[in-house]
Amino acid sequence: MAVSVETQTVSPSIPPPRRVGLNWRTWPWWAVLLGTFGLWTMVAILYSPDYQATVRFLFRGIPVTLQLTVIAYSIALVLGLIAGLGRVSRNVIFYNLSTLYVEFIRGVPLLVVLFYVAFVAAPPMGDALIEAGQAWGLPPLVQLGRLIRSEMGRAVTGLAIGYGAYLAEVYRAGIESIPKGQMEAARSLGMTYWQAMRFVILPQAIRNVLPPLGNDFIAMLKDTALASAIAVPELMYVGRQRAAGTFRYFEVYNTVALLYLAMTLLLSLLVRALERRTAIPR
């Protein structure tokens, strides 16, 4: 008795045709709105004498803003690295001092930190350095004390101390992202803890945290506007002077916003380029 076996062929499923055209849901409307605002402000600057005078006046604050950002962030990087190492240290004193610094500063608004440094900590610190420099015959100490007492020095110190606490947590996360086996392997080769941290762990950790470090640099650029509260002649302070003298609040603060936006977008592009350059192939 013959048994017939029926075979069925299964045709492959054909995906539906892709829709060709503009996807309104994923269209970058935010870029369109930002571009519209920037274009409108640029046209106003080109054709409005009030805007042109405002831009010329505000340009005086841009170098101070950039200088304040670079100096304060450079100091914050060092403070954050020291505190970040303390946060992962087994030394009880180092760990607790670093944790106290990080938790206290992160729990206080940055403006309060800036005011505290400017009006409470900086004056006696500067006076002490000036007196010590004069007593010991060390002119660099005298200059450092005068710098700390200046408005620029107070702003740099306050921003550096404030951002150092946040960068400490960035460094800590980067260090803890490295497998513990690498530290154990380095120690098995005869390295001390600090040698292994310097030559094995930190180079990888810093490479991993470059994106958040870049984002914090951009955030500090914007937070330099807080220095206007202690009379540092940066962009926001110059803008307030212009607005108070001319009562052209609309033109002034539109231009201030556009200048901050231009600087942050440019820095964002530079940070992304740095990320691509230092990215580790997966």
Following DSSP, what letter does each residue of 23-47 receive, concatenated?
A: -TTTS-HHHHHHHHHHHHHHHHHHH
Compute the C-alpha angle 143/146/150, nearest 5°.
135
**How are the residues of the chain apportioned to helix, strand and coil, as percentages rounded to the nearest 5?**
80, 0, 20
Topology of the domain covering 49-276: MetI-like fold (1.10.3720)
User: In this predicted model, what pLDDT tens digit does every residue of 66-118 receive, in sequence order?
Assistant: 999 999 999 999 999 999 999 999 999 999 999 999 999 999 999 999 999 99
Taking residue 7's Cβ as centre, other Cβ atoms within 10 Å add up to 4
Residue 167 φ/ψ region, left for φ over 0, alpha for ψ in the -120 to 50 degree band, beta for the rest: alpha
* pLDDT value of position 44: 74
**Rounded Cα–Cα distance for residues 69 and 219 (Å):** 10
**Rounded Cα–Cα distance for residues 242 and 239 (Å):** 5
Distance of CA 189 to the CA centre of its chain: 37
**Rounded Cα–Cα distance for residues 81 and 71 (Å):** 16
Which tokens hold the place of 26?
A: 């994923």
* pLDDT value of position 19: 59
* pLDDT value of position 38: 75
User: In this predicted model, what pLDDT tens digit does every residue of 11-31 receive, in sequence order?
Assistant: 556 656 565 556 667 777 777
| 46 closest CA partner among 255, 264, 260 | 255
| 160 closest CA partner among 251, 252, 227 | 227
**Rounded Cα–Cα distance for residues 61 and 235 (Å):** 4
The phi, psi pair for 234, rounded to 5°, reads -90, -170
Task: Provide CB contacts within 8 A for 237, sequence distance 6+.
Answer: 61, 227, 228, 231
Instruction: Go through the chain and tell me how many residues it has.
Output: 282
* pLDDT value of position 237: 97
Task: Provide CB contacts within 8 A for 196, sequence distance 6+.
Answer: 183, 186, 187
| 254 closest CA partner among 61, 39, 64 | 39
Asked whether 248 and 258 are in contact (CB, 8 A), the reply is no
Q: Which helix (H) or strand (E) holds 223?
A: helix 210-223
Counting as low any pLDDT under 50, the low residues of the chain are: 1
* pLDDT value of position 147: 93
**Rounded Cα–Cα distance for residues 78 and 46 (Å):** 43
**What are the residue ranges spanned by the domains of the chain?**
49-276
